A and B are shown apart, each in its own frame.
Chain A
Amino acid sequence: MAEVIWGLATSHVPSIGAAMDLKRTGDDSWRPLFDGYEPARTWMAEHRPDVAVVIYNDHGNGIDLDVSPTFAVGTAADYPVADEGWGPRNVPPIVGDPALSAHLVRSLVDDEFDITMLHRLEVDHGLTVPLSVYCPEPGPQWPCRVVPVLVNVIQHPQPTAARCLAFGAALGRAIRTYPEDLAVAVFGTGGMSHQLAGARAGLINQPFDRMFLEKVETDPHALAAISREEYVEQAGSEGIEMIMWLVMRGALGDNLTRVHETYHVPASNTAAALALFEAS
């Protein structure tokens, strides 16, 4: 049977990818973040999954404006890297796992999560940057297949944090009932506090971020009880995307060990964090 071996929570801000693509990770402004990643990267390199299930949001690149699915799962054999307006990132092609996707879709729907199926999908920085955080030098191909799981965090009303946690639990059940012996890692991406537009642009709320980083391990139900309005108020209009970490947390289950974490301000206009959990 398939098993969830670890979960990674990480920011997915484009500039983290650009810093890697442009070889600027040693610059003074970037080094603290990338130094902070190092222990997690070393550990993950020793615990390679067969498949990464990456929970992220599209930023107007893979999904047309006409449709805003609340939860969606990619079902394709491959996912082209999107041109977001400045050319696609030069990273290896994303190879899917259609059989696993089909199982996840069926299991989630049977579990009463009526998700949208995406049979064709171009993936943006929300997915590729976390892969680069996991594996900075993939060479010609990524070391794992990928199943994209998309959450609407841009178009209000976003799903509640509680629904994200429950969706994650269903996703975990779906993975663990897949009959093949697969090692699966689950990525929860986005965050932490940031706001890109409006007079509050540049908002960083370190106390809220620190609270979230702690409770995502110890008390996810407390985070699930926070309203979307409170997330926007506390973490910023884009910081609400950290509710996607709760999907990862739900999928991991309650037997988890924190392997590593790091927190750094700023990555572009955001507070960037990484938290890595081993499932047992």
Chain B
Amino acid sequence: MPRDTYVFDIAHAQKGMAINRLCASLRSPANRSAFQADESAYADKFGLTAAQKTAILDRDWTAMLELGGSIFYIFKLAQLDQRSMQYLGGVFSGMTEQEFTLLMRSGGRSFG
């Protein structure tokens, strides 16, 4: 289960540097093609830890957050997979994309 809230502080940024650099590299069309052609070899260029590499290859979005990923960076990977922010919201909150989308349309989730 993910934490309630991820605070992208300096420790988190340092921890997730390799994940976020990989995702940032997907801003270039050539890099997107190279990643899709051989994800494992592409990932090896960024100095990921073994756990970070597994999280990327398995699309374990919560693990990416735990290992220092920033939502703004890992969303680039999600977009490459044609996954929406509503899909990710569902993953993080334990529901399907459709359930999450309907919940947003009914006013979003209220806490406290």
Question: What is A's interface to B at a CB cutoff of 8 Å?
Answer: 15, 29, 59-61, 64-65, 82-87, 154-157, 193, 195-206, 232, 236-238, 265-266, 268-269, 271
Please, how many angstroms separate the alpha-carbon atoms of A201 and B37 in the complex?
32
Q: When the two chains form the complex, which single residue of B7, B21, B29, B108 contacts A204, counting CB atoms closer than 8 Å?
A: B108
Please judge, given known A-B contacts A199-B1, A232-B5, A269-B89, whether A82 and B10 are in contact too, CB under 8 Å. no
**C-alpha spacing A248/B111, complex, angstroms:** 29
Set of chain B residues within 8 Å of A199, measured between Cβ atoms: 1-4, 92-94
Q: Which residue of A lies closest to B16 (CB)?
A: A65
Q: Is B9's beta carbon under 8 Å from chain A?
A: yes
Asked if A197 and B86 make an inter-chain contact with CB atoms under 8 angstroms apart, the answer reads: no
Per-residue A-contact encoding for B1-32, CB less than 8 Å = 1, 0 else: 11111111110010001001101101111001
Q: Which residues of A contact B105 (CB under 8 A)?
A: 29, 266
**Docked-complex contact B111 and A200, CB < 8 angstroms:** yes
Determine whether the beta carbon of A155 is less than 8 Å from that of B8: yes
A83 and B8 form a contact (CB under 8 A):
no
- The secondary-structure label for the interface of chain B is helix
**Nearest chain A CB to B88's CB is how many angstroms away?**
7
Give chain A's interface secondary structure class. Answer: loop
Contact: A197 with B104, CB < 8 Å?
no
Q: Is the CB of A203 within 8 A of B111?
A: yes
Q: What separation, in Å, do the CA atoms of A238 and B92 have in the docked complex?
A: 15
Q: Are B109 and A60 in contact (CB under 8 A)?
A: no
Whether the Cβ atoms of A156 and B7 lie closer than 8 Å is yes
Q: List 10 A-B contacts (CB under 8 A).
A: A59-B72, A65-B13, A85-B75, A86-B80, A196-B75, A198-B92, A199-B3, A200-B111, A203-B108, A265-B108
Q: How far is the CA of A48 from the CA of B92 in the complex (A)?
A: 43
Check B32–A85 contact: CB distance below 8 A: yes
B52 within 8 A of A: no
Asked if A204 contacts B89 (CB within 8 A), the reply is no
Q: A202 and B3: CB pair below 8 A?
A: no
CA distance A84 to B79 in the complex (A): 10
B57 at the A interface (CB under 8 A):
no
Restricting to B24-75, which residues have a CB under 8 Å from any CB of A? 24, 26-29, 32, 65, 70-73, 75
State in angstroms the CA–CA spacing of A86 and B83 once bound together: 12
CB distance from A231 to the nearest CB of B (A): 12
Q: Are B76 and A85 in contact (CB under 8 A)?
A: yes
- Residues of B95-112 at the interface with A, using a CB-CB cut-off of 8 Å, are 100, 103-105, 107-111
Partner of A60, one of B29, B72, B85, B94: B72
